[in-house]
Amino acid sequence: MRVRLLASTTMLWLMTGAAWAAEPPPPLECGTIAYPAEAAAYNLEGTTGVEYEAAADGRLVGLSIKRSSGWRMLDEATIDILSGCRLASVPAAGLVGKRKTIEYVWSLDGAPSRQALVPGSCAPSDRFAGFRALDTAASAADGILVRAMIGAAGDPYYVKSEAAGEGEGAAELAALATAYLRSCRFALPPGERSPGDNAIFGRVLLK
């Protein structure tokens, strides 16, 4: 099943999935929801897969991340939102307590950032091979997912990295990726700057 966020809504619709093969799934009733402000500022999008169980009263319980969007703040917001939702109609007895999956889609209107890395602008590194803009693959052994605001001179600031796992080693590598991106410079093509051009995200690539 897949849920697409509609900001400031109280109803989310689920696409039909195998667990609901006998009949179309009911919508979710939720409190007013909104896109996380920081995620919107950085133009972050993604899809979070969440496992859950339907309680007899329609609440979603036992929520856990099955597939990360790559962005911790979007994953955490997904759990927070779904924990306050319930199925609009009481689920059939055979579905109560069974593990099912929702894909929660975070998407924004507007064009992606046109910021482009200035070739050769990043500091030499024996650990990092470069930066790939708009790559949203989760942090892993081949790269660290990062986001940044870009100043008028093309300098990254408010740079933040997503650690590839837990522990001091992962946190240290994320900090190094942050410092590496700060050394890079970006430029826009000629023309008027749009709101989406104020930020960039992608992956710092590991050698």
pLDDT digits (tens, 9 = 90+) for 5-44: 443 333 444 433 333 334 455 677 887 778 899 999 999 9
Distance, in Å, from the CA atom of 171 to the CA atom of 152, rounded to the nearest integer, reads 29
Mapping DSSP to helix (H, G, I), strand (E, B) and coil, where does residue 83 land? helix
- Cα distances from 74 to residues 105, 107, 193, in angstroms, run 10, 11, 27
For residues 92 and 15, which has the higher predicted lDDT (pLDDT)?
A: 92
For position 7, what pLDDT does the model report?
38
| Nearest Cα residue to 28 out of 10, 50, 54, 40 | 10
pLDDT of residue 93: 62
pLDDT of residue 196: 78
The pLDDT tens digits for 119-138 are: 999 999 999 999 999 999 99
What value does the mean pLDDT of the chain take? Answer: 84
- Strands 2-4 and 99-106: what pairing? parallel
Distances (CA, A) of 34 to 9, 97, 116, 119: 8, 29, 30, 37
pTM score, whole prediction: 0.82
Query: Which long-range contacts (C-beta less than 8 Å, at least 24 apart) are formed by 152-158?
Result: 153/185, 154/115, 154/118, 154/185, 154/186, 154/187, 155/182, 155/185, 156/181, 156/182, 156/184, 156/186, 156/200, 157/182
pLDDT (0 to 100) of residue 19:
39
- Flag whether pLDDT at 95 surpasses 90: no
Q: State the average pLDDT over residues 106-112.
A: 82
Q: Which domains does the chain carry? A: 2-106 (3.30.2420.10), 116-206 (no CATH)
